Chain A
């Protein structure tokens, strides 16, 4: 079938289906909670040793890759580690539910997979320049994701989240006893720690832009749509 962008969403709307599927809504908020918890506890763990290295080893007194401009604060790390793992489990189990649900409901194909006709520089630069010129998004357009949104969401779901879990697991001495390659392929224990920080920073950047865009298009209505499935005024068909 020749796929058209946003057609799935528009067809769903025509049938009275929600803008966001139930599985997407529920997992969205669980993942939001997990990301918040992981970011807060992650910062608390980071400040115990705010230096980043490359390779297997690194400590005060050895050369670092980056000395982050934050002070060393030791006392926070212990309690925040179990908090980090609690939210890591919430994230992983919810993400698996989301991927299984997204697959079963064809969410990825209908909502996130860009149309072949959109996958060119002209379309992508069009969306970017549109945004850079602060043009208001027309209501009919906002019913589906544009190609830049689609590519961003796909990258977050299928690149950044797997990468943050990979680099997290690769710091585990238990895991590397069985799968040493998860650490050695990217340079070693300190390298995966550094990459964990970089990927986390990219995820935080995504969240900041994601929330900023909500304010631009209408925070309340879009948050409401992610809770109830519908924008104000959208009706469920009988």
Chain B
């Protein structure tokens, strides 16, 4: 056994361990300062989430565009997870073509605003045809029309320390369990200000169907399907996701999914 354990070996291993731990500690500090640690950083699985998020934020330009498709590629079938809310308030808004619906944008902003659907439609419109891929494995191509989230944020003037936009929807039932929940979510500013990120009110040329998130849903082309929050009612700007829910950054992250869906 004398060959396996030597003093030099022990000293080398000890120095390497201390240096390695110090290096990891410094890297985590630095990553935190540059906003490279995601809200769902807790626990052993948070290590993988943090590596994925920081690697993508470091290697992928904030301006890199998700793929766009020709109109001929639009899918015939666009499945839905999470059908429209069934509660009285939502039913009444839907029946009235969302004339009484308002989207409130507040939190860490200079000018909190509330938008009607007409007001959003009168802002500069943008259209994208891209892939919607579900974490379950299915995918479809659709055309989305709406206003860029960046245009709306420009109007409310986010404070310079705002780091996330929180998306608060109407609560809707889960298609499998029937449990009614508000599937709130959040984006960092890189994806919130991205030119393909829309508050979409039309799909494939028609008004957004109820089950696809009417009146307005988020479209974030560089992340998986579940990040595209439907049935929006309020946006909140914040500097920390620790103020929301179980501090994981989204309802789906509390249920196990990655907060960063660009994976």
User: Given A56-B131, A59-B139, A85-B52, are A174 and B222 neighbors across the interface (CB < 8 Å)?
Assistant: yes
Residues A85 and B258 in contact in the complex (CB < 8 Å), given A48-B137, A56-B73, A178-B59: yes
A9: CB under 8 A from chain B? no
A83 within 8 A of B: yes
- Using a CB–CB cutoff of 8 Å, the interface residues on chain A facing chain B are 45-46, 48-49, 51, 56-62, 74-75, 77-83, 85-89, 171-178, 180, 184, 189-190, 193, 236
Indicate if the CB atoms of A81 and B135 lie closer than 8 Å: yes
Q: How many inter-chain contacts with C-beta < 8 Å in the A-B complex?
A: 123
A-B contact pairs, 15 of them (CB 8 A): A46-B137, A49-B136, A56-B73, A56-B139, A58-B139, A59-B75, A61-B77, A62-B75, A81-B256, A82-B48, A87-B48, A174-B222, A174-B223, A177-B64, A236-B3
Taking A61-B77, A78-B255, A79-B256 as contacts, is the C-beta distance between A174 and B61 under 8 angstroms?
A: no
- Does any Cβ of A come within 8 Å of B257's Cβ? yes
Q: Which residue of B lies closest to A172 (CB)?
A: B263
A75: chain B residues at CB < 8 Å are 176
Q: Are B136 and A77 in contact, with the CB atoms below 8 A?
A: yes
- Of all A-B residue pairs in the complex, the 7 with the closest CB atoms, nearest first, are A174-B262, A78-B256, A49-B137, A86-B48, A79-B256, A59-B138, A48-B136
B64 to chain A, nearest CB (A): 4
Consensus secondary structure, chain A interface: helix
Roughly how many angstroms separate A176 CA and B141 CA in the complex, as a whole number? 15
Check: B45 CB closer than 8 A to any chain A CB: yes
B44→A86 contact, CB < 8 A: yes
Contact check, B49 vs A82: say whether CB atoms are below 8 A apart: yes
Residue ID in chain A nearest B76 by CB atoms: A62
User: Which listed residue, B45, B67, B139, B221, touches A180 by the CB 8 Å rule?
Assistant: B67
CA distance A80 to B221 in the complex (A): 23
